[in-house]
Amino acid sequence: MGRRSKSDLFDLTERILELYTKQKLTIKEIEGQLQNEGYNISRESVRRSLKNSKEIAKELQKNIEEARVIMESVKNNPNTDIMEAAVTRIGGLFLKESMQIESLIIKDPFKFAQAAAQLAGAQAKLTATRMQYKDGFEEAKKAVVSALKNELAAHHPELFERLCAIVDEVKVA
């Protein structure tokens, strides 16, 4: 692993962001403020910290927008395929973000683990729902064939055979 920046060593990243975004200080002013507080930090270190934070924020914003688009698609189309794809993608984003964390410092590890478990649970529920749907669909096809047999087999065998062939061709997407 490479050298850690002074802002990371002194745990100043959040403080630098606060001074820059909330107090609207310049990089030079932030350097002066932190040096007045007793930290030996350069203007360049402050600049790199802000640059890195902006890149992380940009990536996070991109991921949030992607998740928003996925959720909008699910809301407008309650198809299990789309929901499965959405849960899988969100799970991938979650995993990607958690793997990019150099030192896993989580304020509430229980909530982090709970979110991961909820994603896994959602995937399992979607899979179970899909299986129940397929089973129900096949049962419905059998019921249709049985009803057709009762109504048509004796008096209209050709029609019965054609309708059964059509029913057999219908597949779950």
Q: How far apart are CA 58 and CA 98, in angstroms?
A: 16
- Report domain extents, the chain: 1-56
Please tell me whether the overall predicted TM-score, pTM, comes out greater than 0.85 for this model: no
Does the pLDDT at position 1 exceed 60? Answer: no
**Burial zone of 169 (CB within 10 Å; 0-12 exposed, 13-18 middle, 19+ buried):** exposed
83-136 pLDDT, tens digit per residue, is 677 777 777 777 776 666 554 556 676 777 777 778 778 777 877 887 888 888
- What does the pLDDT look like over 21-67, one tens digit per residue? 788 888 899 889 889 988 888 888 888 888 877 776 777 677 777 77
Nearest to 45 by CA among 13, 2, 21, 23: 13
Written as six digits, the tokens of 47 are 């600049």
- 2 pLDDT higher than 60: no
